[in-house]
Each structure stands twice: as C-alpha cells, then as structure tokens.
C-alpha cells in the first residue's frame, strides 16, 4: 500500500538547528557539521573512484537537490532518476565480477581519502573522539570491504545443487544474480557502518546504484519502485517503509530495534559481566540498537551489579565522566528530553546527572524497576540501564517471552547448558553469551531482527545474498527421451510407483553409490528403448513396458 496522505518519515534534526551545515566539498566527503547519514553512491564511467555526495540530514541544501521543503515537488524528477538507474542496470555494465571488484576497491579508497572529513562529521554530531569513531566505524567498514574483495569470486560463483535419481544425469546449480536498483536508508547513530556496510553488499551483488536521502526526500522516494529496500531505524518508520514497498511488491530488509534483555546468572564472574555490560550499554552514550536495554537478575544480585557497574564506569571514564573524551553525547535536544523523561519517578542507584546545554546524560542505573513503567515500555536508546529483579532463569525467560521479540539477547553464566537452554526457549534477532554486541562484529553471522525488531539480515556473505536473487538452474540433455516417458500421459500405477522410487530414494555419494546411479541410468534407458521389462532392483517397482511405450 502507498504511504498514507501526509505521512512522512520522522525528522531527525541536526544537534544544533541554528547552525547551518557547510555545503559538501566537491567530489565527496563530509564537511564538519554535516551528518554523513545520507550518502549517494555512483559509478561514473569516467572516474577512477566513486562519486560520494554527503547530503545534510538537518537544515541546509545540497548541490543536487534544493531545499528539503520542496521535496514534494520532486516526485517526477525522482521517478526519472530511478528510471535512469534501472535503464543503466539493464545494460549489464555492473554485472561483471571485475567491475564489482573495481568498485569495491574504489569505495575503499574513498573511505581512506575522506577519513578525516568523516570522523569530523561524526564528532560534530555525537561528540565522539576520533579514536572511537575510527575503531567503531572506519575499521568495521574497511574490514567488510576487504572481506568482500577476498570472497566475492566465491560468493558470485554458481553453486552446485544436490540431485535425485530423476536428475542424476543433469546439471543443477544455483546462480546468484543482482536484483536491480536498491534503496538503502541508513541511520544517524553509526552513520558509516549503517550506510556503507549494506552498500558494500549491494555493490558486490551487482546493482547499479544505491541511494540514501534526507527525511522529506526519502518519503517521496519511497513512492518509486525499487527491487529491494534496506532500512535501519525505528519500528514505527519501518512500518511506513514496508507499507510503501508493498505497493510494488518490493522485498525489504528491516533492521529495527527493541528492548534487548540481559540476564545475569548467579553463577558467573560478576566483575567480567558488569564490565562488558557497561561497555556495551554506555558506548555511543547508549545510542546503539543492540545495546543491553535492561538487566534481569535475582534480587540478591542487584546491589552487587550496581556496585560492579559503578566500578566499571569509573574504570572507563574516570571520576569526571563529563570530561572524558570517550563518553559521547545525545544526538539532539529532542532525544535528550525524551530520555530525560524516562527517569521520572524512578529509583536512581547511580548517575542521573544531566546537562541540557551539552546534551549530556550520565551513565545511569535504575533499580527495582516496575515492569510496567514507561522506561520498560519503550526502547531507551540512551545511557539508562534499568534492573528488573526476577526469581530465576525460568522467570527471566517468561518475562522475555511475554514481550516483543528483541533485536538481541544477552546471558551471562558459567553454565553453558543454561545459556543454550535460554537460547532455545527465547527468540531474538541475535544472541551473545557472556558478552554483549560482539555477534555484530562477526561477518560470518547474519545480522538482523525478528518480529517487531525487523526482518531479513545482512553482513558479509549475507549482505551479498540479500541483494541477490539465488536463481535455480537445471540443464538437461535432449537425449534419454525413453526414460522421460515415465512422466508423459497416459498415466498408470506403475508410473506412479517408479516416480516414488526416483523422487524418494537417496543414494550415497560414495563410489558404489555413483556406480549404482550410472548403471541404473544406462540399463533403464536401454530397456525402455527396446521395450523390455525393467531389471530387478531391490526396492524398485515392476515396470509395465506396454504402459510406458
């Protein structure tokens, strides 16, 4: 269905709306104050490196589009642009493996050449140090590109498919092919990773171009037909994206959010558990979609958890957290006030300090939290960690299963059997045992949600497959028509019995099994051709040749 009249994507304003961002420099790169959450990538034939234009996500203008308030007038222009991209894709220029590898190498050069501009833009939005931004974003991107460069020939190759007796002499394989024109909508909290990481998979799969736009432009752009849409953001906006995609039957990958629980078993190393939880929770000031949202533990552990978390926070950020270069800020005033409101009426065991002028919210821990409180009804997406007491692991599982499926689930215990049991009895987008967030860092694992936390997945080979159609291919010979008469009318019981034998029998892939297959095929073809009876094969039906020939 199309977007409802007047429906738009929620605005994510610039942290300082009174400051006008600089215009992006020619050829790409993000100027200071410009959020690089909107990157348009192209592969012009006359350039060695891709053209990368950073479109401001707040107020201001870009060299391509005029003011965002006029986005509603750009529908025809956007339609023409998408049609042009589709026509370019139909030329097949982006399909050759060599072209894709060249574009991935060019993308790598672009990230390296514009590294300082990108890091400066992230610092302007989130007060993130260059070291943090580089380790959390740039390194991840470069590693993903290197993986694609190494593995793309293997990913793009035809994959042999298992055959049955009926197709034993045929060629069966799965051939990945690019879907076409893709739309990737990134997010502001990790602008490089959430924009470029899926883009790497899209380039590897072979589409012509990927877009990311500002809010108003994205709303209009969703009216166009794409071959796949990947969106990262809130569940509410994910529903808008899916509604728009349904009009064109466009498949979507939705990486949304939710309240990711963290269970702490009494039988665990509490020092290690709390240090790792504090790292994942307060990194990026809590603005991480898979950050631990709340802690479940037995009442007797609650005070110990608070104390260990306080020690970890001091270890990470020092006595004066506000002055630590490693502690970020809330992205804008609207989110600051929303997170601040979650503290109302809560028992603050640690932290709670705020500064609206700098959008600072201290690492905060809440204890004895009511499961029905506001802080437990919505995704926090900030540096607030509620602790909800539960009697045991079974009650924790019940608590989790009574709520929407989260994007991630974390459990800490020395008992691996307990960890696997909790994994088997809950559902979430991903799981990390005895740590947090780290499943995101492994490209061999698909990253995505389930239920209200999203659908589909990407990362590494999974990104390639998300933007590809896995095309089943079967190549048969024009010979052997005698055997094929088993499937031609008129039908008979003997034909059905033989069909059951061919479809349901499985032969081992060892030498004897292969020899049996070859012998069976030759004997059957000869006998059918001369009209003789079928051989006596254990488990095979009796063939009535007069009903076949």
Among all residues, which ones are annotated catalytic? Answer: 255
Spacing of C-alpha 546 from chain mean position: 58
Residue whose C-alpha is closest to residue 487's, from 531, 515, 528, 522: 528
- Specify burial of residue 509 (Cβ count, 10 A radius: 0-12, 13-18, 19+): exposed
Concatenate the DSSP letters of all residues of 111-134 into one string: HHHTHHHHHHHHHHHH---HHHHI
Alpha-carbon distances of 76 from 79, 82, 128, 221, 402, rounded to whole Å = 5, 10, 39, 10, 46
Cis peptide before 490 (omega within 30 of 0): yes
Tokens representing residue 396 in the block: 């924790």
- DSSP structure class, residue 147: H
3-class DSSP state of 526: helix
Query: How far is 486 from 477, CA to CA, in rounded Å?
Result: 16
Alpha-carbon distances of 145 from 68, 84, 112, 405, 470, rounded to whole Å = 32, 27, 12, 31, 22
Strands 354-355 and 360-361: antiparallel
Q: At what angle do helices 97-113 and 191-205 cross, to 10 degrees?
A: 160
Q: Three-state SS string across 437-502, please? A: CHHHHCCCCCECCCHHHEECCECCHHHHHHCEEEEEEEECCCCCHHHHHHHCCCCCHHHHHHHHHH
Task: State the CB neighbour count (10 A cutoff) for residue 458.
Answer: 25
Element (H, E) at 39: strand 39-42
Q: Are 147 and 203 in contact (CB under 8 A)?
A: no
- DSSP structure class, residue 189: S
């Amino acid at each position: 269905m199309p977007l409802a009249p007047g429906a738009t994507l929620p605005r994510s304003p610039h942290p300082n709306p009174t400051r006008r961002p600089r215009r992006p420099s020619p050829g790409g790169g993000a100027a200071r104050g410009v959020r690089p959450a909107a990157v348009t990538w192209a592969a012009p034939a006359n350039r060695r490196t891709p053209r990368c234009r950073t479109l401001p996500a707040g107020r201001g203008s870009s060299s391509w589009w005029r003011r965002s308030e006029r986005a509603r007038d750009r529908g025809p222009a956007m339609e023409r642009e998408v049609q042009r991209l589709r026509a370019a894709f139909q030329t097949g220029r982006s399909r050759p493996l060599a072209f894709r590898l060249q574009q991935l190498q060019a993308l790598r050069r672009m990230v390296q050449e514009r590294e300082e501009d990108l890091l400066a833009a992230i610092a302007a939005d989130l007060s993130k140090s260059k070291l943090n931004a580089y380790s959390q974003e740039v390194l991840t991107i470069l590693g993903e590109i290197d993986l694609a460069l190494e593995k793309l020939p293997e990913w793009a190759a035809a994959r042999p498919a298992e055959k049955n007796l009926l197709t034993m002499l045929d060629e069966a394989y799965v051939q990945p092919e690019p879907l076409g024109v893709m739309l990737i909508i990134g997010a502001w909290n990790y602008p490089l990773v959430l924009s470029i990481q899926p883009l790497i998979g899209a380039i590897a799969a072979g589409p012509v171009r990927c877009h990311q736009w500002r809010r108003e432009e994205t709303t209009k752009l969703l009216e166009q037909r794409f071959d796949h849409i990947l969106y990262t953001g809130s569940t509410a906006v994910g529903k808008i994206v899916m509604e728009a995609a349904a009009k064109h039957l466009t498949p979507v990958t939705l990486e949304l959010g939710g309240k990711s629980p963290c269970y702490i078993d009494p039988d665990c190393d509490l020092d290690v558990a709390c240090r790792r939880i504090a790292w994942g929770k307060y990194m990026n000031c809590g603005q991480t979609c898979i950050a631990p949202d709340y802690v479940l533990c037995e009442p007797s552990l609650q005070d110990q958890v608070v104390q260990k978390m306080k020690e970890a926070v001091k270890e990470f950020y020092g006595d004066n957290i506000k002055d630590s270069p490693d502690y970020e800020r809330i992205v804008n005033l609207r989110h600051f006030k929303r997170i601040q409101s979650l503290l109302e009426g809560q028992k603050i065991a640690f932290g709670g300090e705020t500064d609206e002028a700098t959008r600072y919210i201290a690492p905060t821990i809440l204890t004895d939290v009511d499961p029905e409180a506001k802080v437990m009804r919505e995704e926090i997406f900030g540096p607030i960690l509620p602790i909800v007491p539960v009697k045991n692991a079974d009650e924790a599982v019940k608590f989790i299963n009574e709520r929407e499926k989260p994007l991630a689930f974390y459990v800490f215990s020395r008992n691996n059997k307990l960890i696997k049991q909790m994994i088997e009895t809950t559902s979430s987008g991903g799981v990390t045992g005895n740590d947090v967030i780290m499943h995101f860092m492994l490209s061999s694992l698909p990253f995505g949600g389930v239920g209200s936390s999203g659908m589909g997945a990407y990362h590494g080979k999974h990104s390639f497959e998300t933007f590809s159609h896995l095309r089943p291919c079967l190549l048969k010979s024009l010979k052997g028509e005698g055997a094929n008469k088993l499937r031609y009318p008129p039908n008979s019981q003997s034909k059905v019995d033989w069909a059951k034998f061919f479809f349901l029998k499985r032969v081992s892939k060892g030498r004897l099994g292969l020899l049996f297959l070859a012998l069976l095929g030759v004997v059957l073809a000869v006998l059918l051709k001369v009209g003789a009876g079928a051989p006596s094969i254990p488990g095979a039906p009796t063939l009535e040749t007069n009903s076949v020939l």
